[in-house]
Amino acid sequence: MRFFSTLLASVLGSFIAFGLLFVVGGMIMAGLIASTVSTSDPSIASESVLVLSLSGPINELGTSDPLYELLDVPQPQGLNQIQSALEHAATDDRIEAVWLKPQGIITGWATLVEIRESLLEFKKSGKPLIASTSGDLAMREPDYFLATAADSVYGPPRAFFEFNGFYLGVNFYKGLLDKLNIEPTVLRVGTYKGGIEPYTREDLSDENRAQLKVIVDQWNDLMTSTVADARNLTQEEVQQLMQSGTLFTTEDALQYGLLDGLLQSEHVDRLIAKWIDSDEDLNTVSLAHYYPSTTGGPSDSDGTIGIMNASGVIISGSSNELNGYLGASSFQKSMEKFREDDRVKAVVLRIDSPGGSATASEAMWQSVRETSDVKPVIVSMGDLAASGGYWLATAGDTIVASHHTLTGSIGVYGMHFSLGQMLETKLGITSDHVTTSDYADMLSGMRPLRPAERAMFERSLSETYDKFLERVSENRMMTTDAVHAVAQGRVWTGSDALEAGLVDELGNLDDAIRIAAHKAGLEDGRYRVKRLPQPETLVDQYLDLLLTRIRTTFESPVETMIRKEARLVDEAIQLQGIPIARMPLEVKTAH
């Protein structure tokens, strides 16, 4: 029987290997063909309209992988692509207007503000900017926030128009853990460290509720003031529209002055053609097709500004873009390239991370500090630079945050899950063992921590928190007591963090680049920009996904049960038993 099972596994493995080679080889060949086509002149016609169809997640970095277009797969969108395309379109004689189509955008408010600022900058060119949407749900608050930058905003008739305020939601797993007989040990340092609450509570603590309320109120103020300025209303009138339940359809939005008309996309197409005096069918170009022609820099430069992208949950080991992990070893390799490249005169560390492993955060901190010893390092905060993300930021020379960056969260917590009871009561699995010491199986996950082990865990967390305070104290030139007063795990918006002394300036990525160039002695327009790491290609992401599916195909019943029923996010397993500098594991933002 063993022979046949081994033979079957061997044959099955061969089929999978050949299948992988065939599929990946085909994708690589298609990519090479598409790449050859894309490297030629994109042949953008005169009197063209740049169409920005923005939907789903907007990452820090997008990709111009031609394989997406060849396979008709939605291409990931990046802030860098959107900003570069708008900047180029403003002076490109071939581009007559921009047609913005925001639909179901998923990103933070710091990113939304940067995109809107780029739209407003484009409008200074005098070229038309039109916004419209289609579908049953015409617009949500983030979509409309961007649309307000346009000269005119249109929605389809009889569609929903979501304009009802904001909330922040947190999922809690305590009830699930109780039902599965999983016993958590979760410790924290910091009154506001809300990352542990999903495992110990069924609702928000007063402290966590208070800090989240501050954040959501600032989002609301941003939205109401922006809409009021754009649509010639008072902020009080906009707030009343949000709270009264008056707005629910595009007809309502038109009635109260939030839209300029009700038009389907084909009618907007004709309207734009009239605006640009085009007698022929409208020539449109997508972001994916237009962006490659916007890249580059001055032909002769005095140096390069390196932009190090640090996005995702911080872990030890390698990064995994598909799962949203920022690996310390991958980060260190990229930072080393910038550090040793004499052409790179300064580095901008762009952080968009909720934190993660404190050990990995410290390793990355060391890499940034080594770089700052030989060339300027300016930190630019995106949507998130919290906990371990803020730890990393303290290695820079200057910290620049957006008004709406979520940062701080200077605190530490740790988790330990005991799965022994779950395995016995749910699956009938018991275990036994031998050890060489009383503590050998402490992190096995098969039993709860004993009092002495809990004390060891608490001591480790306290030492990590002290190290965190030390890093902040050195960077911010504050006493550790002063840092402790604004720490405690509390999350701050960028504007509040400036008042608390946790950041140096408020601004966006371009502001951070200008500061870096100034510190490096580079004149405006006399430097190139180089970004690391490069986004994964479609082939890379496909392989990651395929390998994940293969692993789940051959997993044991216990692994399947844990994955499907007690999925506490993969990072909870990644970070078990170690000090964690991380914001709440799963905070859902609804608009």
End-to-end CA gap in the chain: 58
Strands 313-315 and 183-189: unpaired
Q: Whose structure tokens read 């991380």?
A: 582
User: Which residue type is seen at 383?
Assistant: D
The structure tokens listed for 96 are 């007559």
Residue 287 and residue 50 in contact, taking contact as beta carbons nearer than 8 Å: yes
Which ranges of 307-387 would DSSP assign to H, the alpha helix?
A: 328-340, 358-372
The structure tokens listed for 309 are 């992208």
In this structure, the dihedral spanned by the alpha carbons of residues 560, 563, 564 and 568, taken in order and rounded to 10 degrees, is 160
∠ CA 194-57-30 to the nearest 5 degrees?
A: 135
Q: Is 111 helix (H, G, I), strand (E, B) or coil?
A: helix
Taking CA atoms, 64 is separated from 68, 244, 287, 331, 538, in Å, by 8, 44, 9, 22, 10
Residue 243 and residue 160 in contact, taking contact as beta carbons nearer than 8 Å: no
Which ranges of 125-184 would DSSP assign to H, the alpha helix?
A: 141-147, 174-179
For 356, left (φ over 0), alpha (ψ -120 to 50), or beta? Answer: left
The structure tokens listed for 503 are 């950041």
Q: Which residues are catalytic?
A: 193, 387
Using omega within 30 degrees of 0 as the cis cutoff, is the peptide bond preceding 557 cis? no
DSSP-assigned beta bridge partners for residue 574? none
Neighbours of 185 (CB within 10 A): 17
